[in-house]
């Protein structure tokens, strides 16, 4: 019976989709689109262009066919292009669409039974919408648990069938023996690593991520094969220290100093001393301003290894972070069970304060890395014990970069142009300039004055189409943790 019923449902849905295709229905995105004129003028905006330069007051941005065609002072009073729709935006700030570099399309699944496995549910509905609503117009998925789903989502988003950012889909986690997650394939050896990279490159993923328990031989094979396909590879490593990974040719390292195991006493080759053991050691004993860390930074910069800042997830392991009032909007997107479990996790974190001092250390490390010429990028990493929500977490990460001591325009550059440069796509995304894609975030306030104004997203343009963040968020109320 269940089989027969399934067939019937499948036939019905097939015929429904054929009918709708034939009828040329309006775009499935239209419920979320606020501005879709082909030619637009954003008039009298404050411009933060993503390069790190000071905000420019009273500017005008012209958009046509999804691209920025002109950026000029409003006072020049140049004639408007024919058929332009002019949006009066006095008091608003326009920044580039965020280029998020640690943007998983999954979230911890609640209700793990006693003795059950750690499991992450694909957030196929909520994550793409919330990234876009938060101003993320390009996202690298930084490790996939359902690579085929991520690739299909990308295809649907690119075809204009689903709302979401431009995706750089990362292949499945490249993980060795010892993994905590049953959703990750355990690589057998270096040949398996090479084969896995070749297979997923052929399937269409555009980046890779190496994980905790990979051996140096496996990482070497993965890097070689990723590079042979012209693709980059990042890592959240444990069995391999930062300098060893840099020597092997890795392109990027996630999270920063808290996961670098090279300083751990008695660290054995290809062995992970444990995430918490290492974090505790680094927190207590490693001096960010000392000669050892300085040498690591110098080495990473010399090898052109970028770092991805994920302060938003690191802070959740500290006490009362982020402040509760900051969490109210994100909490509404969580399923009731996910919200409940996040609050329990939060109170445990407050008791243990596992990452309180580490957060400050990580911030100083990121500042030193940039001061030494390193390329720092950012992403939200919606994992941990929950509560780091796509989009909201990306804004929070930029706020934490400012808390770390970067100026607001520097922090915005880290989350936009720096990532575009890393991706080799800075000719088309990452800053606001003529010829680039019209990927823009309109804010109802000035983040250069108060970085929290980043949360006041009023409109998100992707390729010149203006999405309504409130409608995107509303459409996934209470769905995070569920789907
Ligand atoms: Zn991650």
Q: How confident is the model at residue 26, as a pLDDT?
A: 82
Q: Which of 430, 300, 311, 308 is nearest to 377 (CA)?
A: 308
Q: How confident is the model at residue 9, as a pLDDT?
A: 44
Q: Which residues of the chain have pLDDT under 70?
A: 1-24
Q: How far is the CA of 143 from the centre of ligand 1 (A)?
A: 7
Q: How far is the CA of 324 from the centre of ligand 1 (A)?
A: 23
* HSE of 102, CA atoms in CB hemisphere, 13 A: 32
Q: Is the previous residue joined to 322 through a cis bond, with omega within 30 degrees of 0?
A: yes
Q: Which of 434, 454, 460 is nearest to 59 (CA)?
A: 434
Q: How far is the CA of 93 from the centre of ligand 1 (A)?
A: 30
Cα–Cα distance between 136 and 165 in angstroms, integer?
6
Instruction: Render pLDDT for 199-233 as a digit per residue (tens, 0 to 9).
Output: 999 999 999 999 999 999 999 999 999 999 999 99
Q: How far is the CA of 116 from the centre of ligand 1 (A)?
A: 21
Q: Domain coordinates of the chain in residue numbers?
A: 2-29, 32-97+435-444+453-463, 98-423
Asked if the 98-423 domain carries CATH number 3.20.20.140, the reply is yes
Cα–Cα distance between 403 and 411 in angstroms, integer?
10
Q: How far is the CA of 235 from the centre of ligand 1 (A)?
A: 10
C-alpha distances (whole Å) from 317 to each of 228, 230, 241, 357 are 38, 36, 22, 10
Cα–Cα distance between 413 and 431 in angstroms, integer?
8
39 beta partners: 64
Please give all residues whose CB falls under 5 A of ion ligand 1, grouped by chain where several chains appear: 381
Q: How far is the CA of 382 from the centre of ligand 1 (A)?
A: 7
- What's the CATH code, domain 32-97+435-444+453-463? 2.30.40.10
Mind spelling out the 3-state secondary structure of the chain?
CHHHHHHHHHHHHHHHHHHHHHHCCCCCCHHHEEECCCEEEEEEEEECCCCCCCCEEEEEEEEECCEEEEEEEHHHCCCCCCCCEEEECCCCEEEECEEECCCCCEEECCCCCCCCCCCEEECCCHHHHHHHHCCEEEEECCCECCHHHHHHHHHHHHCCCCCCCEEECECECEECCCCCCCCCCECCCHHHHHHHHHHHHHHCCCEEEECCCCCHHHHHHHHHHHHHCCCEEEECCCCCCHHHHHHHCCCEEECCHHHCCCCCCCCCCCCCCCHHHHHHHHHHHCCCCCHHHHHHHHHHHHCCCEEEECHHHHHHHCCCCCCHHHHHHHHCCECHHHHHHHHHHHHHHHHHCCCHHHHHHHHHHHHHHHHCCCCEEECCCCCCCCCCCCCHHHHHHHHHHHHCCCCHHHHHHHCCHHHHHHHCCCCCCCCCCCCCECCEEEECCCCCCCHHHHHCEEEEEECCEEECHHHHHHCCCCCECCC
Instruction: Render pLDDT for 434-470 as a digit per residue (tens, 0 to 9).
Output: 999 999 999 999 999 999 999 999 999 999 999 999 9
Q: How far is the CA of 383 from the centre of ligand 1 (A)?
A: 7
Cα–Cα distance between 240 and 259 in angstroms, integer?
10
What are the phi and psi torsion angles at 308 (to 5°)?
Answer: -105, 120
Cα–Cα distance between 172 and 120 in angstroms, integer?
13
Q: How confident is the model at residue 180, as a pLDDT?
A: 87
Q: How far is the CA of 233 from the centre of ligand 1 (A)?
A: 14
Q: Which of 35, 59, 39 is nearest to 48 (CA)?
A: 59
Q: How far is the CA of 262 from the centre of ligand 1 (A)?
A: 20
- Quote the tokens at residue 451: 């970085």
Q: How confident is the model at residue 23, as a pLDDT?
A: 54
Q: How far is the CA of 381 from the centre of ligand 1 (A)?
A: 5
Q: How far is the CA of 102 from the centre of ligand 1 (A)?
A: 6
Q: How far is the CA of 142 from the centre of ligand 1 (A)?
A: 6
Cα–Cα distance between 266 and 202 in angstroms, integer?
40
Q: How far is the CA of 35 from the centre of ligand 1 (A)?
A: 33
Contact 282, 257 (CB under 8 A): yes
C-alpha distances (whole Å) from 360 to each of 6, 314, 357, 364 are 54, 10, 5, 6
């Amino acid at each position: 019976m269940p089989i027969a019923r399934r067939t019937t449902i499948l036939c019905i849905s097939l015929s429904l989709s054929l009918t709708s295709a034939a009828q040329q229905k309006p775009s499935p995105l239209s419920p979320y689109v606020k501005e879709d004129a082909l030619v637009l003028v954003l008039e009298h905006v404050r411009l933060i262009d993503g390069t790190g330069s000071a905000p420019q007051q009273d500017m005008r941005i012209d958009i046509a066919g999804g691209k920025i065609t002109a950026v000029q002072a409003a006072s020049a009073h140049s004639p408007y292009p024919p058929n332009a729709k002019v949006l009066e935006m006095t008091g608003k700030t326009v920044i580039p669409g965020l280029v998020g570099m640690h943007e998983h399309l999954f979230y911890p699944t609640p209700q793990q039974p006693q003795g059950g496995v750690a499991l992450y549910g694909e957030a196929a509905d909520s994550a793409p919408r919330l990234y876009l609503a938060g101003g993320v117009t390009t996202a690298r998925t930084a490790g996939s648990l359902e690579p085929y789903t991520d690739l299909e989502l990308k295809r649907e988003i690119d075809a204009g069938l689903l709302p979401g950012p431009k995706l750089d889909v990362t292949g499945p986690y490249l993980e060795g023996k010892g993994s905590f997650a049953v959703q990750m394939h355990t690589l057998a050896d270096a040949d398996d690593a090479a084969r896995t990279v070749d297979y997923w490159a052929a399937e269409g993923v555009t980046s890779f991520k190496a994980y905790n328990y990979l051996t140096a031989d496996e990482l070497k094979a993965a890097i070689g094969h990723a590079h042979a396909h012209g693709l980059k590879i990042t890592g959240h490593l444990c069995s391999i220290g930062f300098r060893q990974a840099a020597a092997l040719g890795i392109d990027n390292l996630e999270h920063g100093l808290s996961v670098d195991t090279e300083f751990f006493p008695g660290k054995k080759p290809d062995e992970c001393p444990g995430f918490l053991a290492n974090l505790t050691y680094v927190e207590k004993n490693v001096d960010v301003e000392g000669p050892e860390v300085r040498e690591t930074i110098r080495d990473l910069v010399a090898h052109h290894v970028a770092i991805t800042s994920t302060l938003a997830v690191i802070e959740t392991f500290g006490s009362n972070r982020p402040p509760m009032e900051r969490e109210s909007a994100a909490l509404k997107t969580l399923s009731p069970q996910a919200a409940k479990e996040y609050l329990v996790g939060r109170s445990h974190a407050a008791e243990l304060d596992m990452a309180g001092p580490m957060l400050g250390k990580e911030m100083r490390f990121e500042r030193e890395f940039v001061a030494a010429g390193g390329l720092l990028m950012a992403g939200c990493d919606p994992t941990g014990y929950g509560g780091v929500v796509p989009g909201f977490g990306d804004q929070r990460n930029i706020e934490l970069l400012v808390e770390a001591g970067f100026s607001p325009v520097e922090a915005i550059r880290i989350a936009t142009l720096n990532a575009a440069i890393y991706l080799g796509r800075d000719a088309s995304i990452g800053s606001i300039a003529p010829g680039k894609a019209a990927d823009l975030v309109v804010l109802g306030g000035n983040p250069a004055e108060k970085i929290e104004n980043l949360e006041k997203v009023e409109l998100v343009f992707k390729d010149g189409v203006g999405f309504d963040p409130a409608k995107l968020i509303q459409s996934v109320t209470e769905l995070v943790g569920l789907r």
